[in-house]
Chain A
């Protein structure tokens, strides 16, 4: 006699996937959704002279009038400019490794290594290397460019380019490994055909390799743009503390300052909402671009 499925069983089956999702959902709500609601609410609360809190845009007005906010946002903007350099360098090295240069595995192992080092460790090392008696200045003196010597992280003009360089130094390992993995998955026949047809190194890679890499390049560029907006706190904190003055203050660092040093939660929340909005804008733009390129291809 065939067994009849009990009614409670089907009900259970209907809800079963949600049971598996429950723990992850609780954590995600607690760590992401609750804080986002909280900062939006706090950023809109304002203290009135009569002591009653009302909703309004005072915090945003204060932030927009604050020159240091614009400085911090601008600094994040300048960091974004290092993404093209980072991408081109990573691509170049990945292609060189792909050409089966002798010892490429060893080279890959070494070039990727900075990526596993902690930012605070890398940061303190570079404080010495970029200092007055550091290797950079020693080398400059050695090749007769002594007039260029300076305290790279102590100069208002050079502090941000110096930090960019350290970020590029660490993130390049990721780019190289990512691009190399994609290169190795390309079909070899096309490249061999190009070589037989007499294409040289640049022709071969510019016309054959690069177009096939567009997906992974786009992925890397987006990841790095997000890094420059959302993951540079540790560099700034360990190398410069945002200084000299506010010359290397970035959004994350300024949010942290307002929240835990200046004790101004309303302003910290408004800054956080703005950073969140900028990041979201970037992602939406990227999704748009991707959709358009898909439509073009179709």
Chain B
């Protein structure tokens, strides 16, 4: 296991988050992933390498192509752990706003 990267570093980058969203629905080859970005192909390869090193992505050989797919176990680890603070408050306050907009004082 390569401990050079941790998952949190991996998801701190917007391109890498976009890659995760992209492969979340289906496994994709590197070329297909790269074609979704304006970024140079080697840059995308580097992102894929980082995501793979920290086990957010898994590689699968299929013919000449390597397919990348999401590692749900690792993703869940982050999802459970993260609970992004701001998002949590924002959700709560959005809800508060909605509830109070519909609020009817009791007679």
Do A and B pair up? The answer is no
Which chain B residues have a beta carbon within 8 Å of chain A's beta carbons?
A: none
